[in-house]
Amino acid sequence: MKSLSKTILLVVIGLAADMALAAGDPDAGKEKSAACAACHGQDGNSSSAQYPKLAGQGEPYLVKQLKDYKSGARENAIMAGQVANLSEQDMADIAAYYAEQEIETGTANPDYVEQGEKIWRAGIAEKGVASCAGCHGPAGQGVQAAAFPSLAGQHADYTVSQLEAFRNAGRNALDGPKRNNDPNGMMRDVADRMTDREIRNVASFIAGLSEGDEDQ
């Protein structure tokens, strides 16, 4: 756990230096996000689990992802086209708009939620997998200072797809989507140690999380 805390501290310091940009204007962001609505919903609550919910997401995380799509650090053909002409101010404005929206929490599958909650709150000790709550907050609210994303209420299928992509990247898999824009390979390391079932279980639990679960 000491090494994880040290890694988080380094991430916070690095991101604080990297993200010194003009404050986002949510009103301007609402107008600029019009093209995003087709996939992510007008208020950031996507109706399709193929696309992530952006409502309530932290501004630093959203800005980082948009910048990564533009630089190619995170690969996605659709998003690369969407961000190609965005300035850093555009990104900040769009992020500010979505950060002000309220996410619509989903429902956890009761068959998976017990095991998923154990992973979320305690990790998988025998595999060296730290608890998800340690970085993403007890209620999945994220840690803005470190640009660790809010996960509460996210589509389970989308969370599964991202954990699988991190795992593929960590294993240098030949097939399947890969994602390697996580700070210091943190998520690649976590996902590499998880089975399909463990990923499914925790993703289902996350879908049903809300801020009201923080003290549980």
- Give residue limits of the domains in the chain: 2-100, 113-213
What is the per-residue pLDDT across 64-111, written as a single tens digit (0 to 9) for each? 999 999 999 999 999 999 999 999 999 999 999 999 999 999 999 999
pLDDT at 156: 98
What is the per-residue pLDDT across 21-51, written as a single tens digit (0 to 9) for each? 568 999 999 999 999 999 999 999 999 999 9
What is the per-residue pLDDT across 140-180, written as a single tens digit (0 to 9) for each? 999 999 999 999 999 999 999 999 999 999 999 999 999 99
Q: Report the sign of the C-alpha dihedral through residues 87, 23, 41, 136, in that order.
A: positive
- Is pTM beyond 0.85 here? yes
Q: Do domains 2-100 and 113-213 have the same CATH topology?
A: yes
Q: Report d(CA 69, CA 79) in Å as an integer.
A: 6
Residues 6+ apart with CB under 8 A from 14: 183
Write the class of the CATH domain 113-213: mainly alpha
* CATH code of the region 2-100: 1.10.760.10
Secondary structure letter of residue 101 according to DSSP: S
